[in-house]
Amino acid sequence: MGWSIPDTLDAWYLVAGADEVRGRVRPFAVGGLQGAVARTSEGLVALDAVCPHMGADLRLGTVDRGRIVCPLHGMGFAADGRCDRRGVPSARTVPVGEACGAVFVHPGAAPGPLPSCERWPDQAFVWSSARAFRVPVPWRTVLVNAFDLHHLDAVHHRALVSPPVFENPAPDRLRMRYATRVVGSGLSDRLTRLLATDQVDLWLTSIGGPVMTVEVDLGRTRTAAVVGVVPDGEGTWLRLAVGVPQGFGGALRARIARWLYVTFLRQDIPVLQGVELEPHSDLPEDEPVQRLLAFLDERAAV
Ligand code: FES
Ligand SMILES: [Fe+2]
């Protein structure tokens, strides 16, 4: 079957780490939507990049109190888009929110609930966001790779110890639960083994398509991550924030966990070039990929 998944889905997109927007304007681009986002004294402000006064680029603006200030004539625009000078039209606002150490925008008009981690509802996490990196493959390939358990052994040195279980916790969510054992001997493998009593028990949830949460029980500790993809031509921007349970040395533990996640993700980059969306087989190992593609196809039709 051919998949017709458009470049922009009606979903939340991860555009920055929570600590990257403090007091400064960050640009974002999701499909045809270009905008500016900042954390101001009044909270998050996300606006279309085009200033409604004379069209200057708000992505080059600055933050002043609760507003994004246009770089050309210095007028400010608040979270509701309103200009601080009467007689100037409002800027177009973009739905924005913050969760799991990350900032999300939504290109549609009626966003659903923000991405969330659900496995341990009472657990408070300390989050650490990684700098965005671009991978030279389409975003759909990146998502398919996350659900492709068949490559865990060859690329990530993990052996699957229990078959995946699927569920749809909400209409816009597809979850895959599975467990692996670390079999590699690299530095990140040894460190992960040190943190894991036996197996690594994982919940991977696609939220609307472009965002995934990864909730990992290592036995001795837990980690959570939120990973977002944003299409960029033939490539993909990948962003993530990683959380560890609050407590002693939280910030340092979060950075170590972040390094483990980034190392894991980077193992895929050299082998993904040219990879197709769909396996040419009917092996049982390929089922997770088929499930994800069907889910994305369904989301595309929403
Ligand atoms: S163009 Fe933005 S304030 Fe004039
Ligand atoms: Fe992978």
Alpha carbon distance 71, 194 (integer Å): 51
Q: Is the CB of 72 under 6 A from ligand 1?
A: yes
Neighbours of ion ligand 2 (CB under 5 A): 145, 268
Asked if residue 160 lies in contact with residue 149, where contact means CB atoms within 8 angstroms, the answer is: yes
Query: Is the CB of 83 within 6 Å of ligand 1?
Result: no
**Alpha carbon of 91 to ligand 1 centroid (Å):** 10
Domain borders along the chain are 13-105, 125-301
Q: Which residues pair with 37 in a beta bridge?
A: 26, 46
Query: Would you say 18 and 98 are in contact if contact means Cβ atoms under 8 Å apart?
Result: yes
Distance 189 CA to ligand 2 centre (A): 14
The minimum-distance atom of ligand 1 relative to the CA of 75 is: 3
- Sheet holding 26-30: strands in order across? 26-30, 33-40, 43-48
The C-alpha atoms of residue 240 and residue 228 are separated, in whole angstroms, by 6
pLDDT in tens, the chain (302 residues): 556 677 788 999 999 999 999 999 999 999 889 999 999 999 999 999 999 999 999 999 999 999 999 999 999 999 999 999 999 999 999 999 999 999 999 998 878 999 999 999 999 999 999 999 999 999 989 999 999 999 999 999 999 998 899 999 999 999 999 999 988 888 888 888 888 878 999 999 999 999 999 999 999 899 999 999 999 988 999 999 999 999 999 999 999 999 999 999 999 888 888 887 778 888 888 889 999 999 999 888 87
Q: What is the pLDDT of residue 197?
A: 79
Q: Nearest 5°: CA angle at 244, between 124 and 242?
A: 110
Neighbours of 275 (CB within 10 A): 16
The strand order across the sheet containing 102-105 reads 13-17, 102-105, 96-99
- pLDDT for the residue 2: 59
* Model pLDDT, residue 256: 94
How much is the pLDDT for 242? 97
DSSP state letters, 226-241: EEEEEEETTEEEEEEE
Within a 10 A sphere around the Cβ of 163, how many other Cβ atoms?
A: 13
- Which residues in the chain belong to E strands, given as ranges? 13-17, 26-30, 33-40, 43-48, 62-64, 67-69, 76-77, 96-99, 102-105, 125-129, 133-135, 158-170, 173-182, 196-207, 211-219, 222-232, 235-245
Distance from residue 180's CA to the centre of ligand 2 (Å)? 13
Per CATH, domain 13-105 is 2.102.10.10? yes
Q: Which atom of ligand 1 is nearest to the CA of 54?
A: 1
- For strands 173-182 and 158-170, give the pairing: antiparallel
* Residue 264 alpha carbon to ligand 2 centre in Å: 7
Run of H or E residues at 195: helix 187-195
Cα–Cα separations (whole angstroms), residue 37 to 73, 130, 270: 19, 18, 32
CATH number of 125-301: 3.90.380.10
Nearest CA to ligand 1 atom 3: 73
- The SS3 of residue 97 is strand
Cα gap 50→94, rounded to integer Å: 12
Spatial distance between the Cα atoms of 299 and 93, rounded to a whole number of angstroms:
24
Q: Of ligand 1's atoms, which has the minimum distance to the CA of residue 88?
A: 3
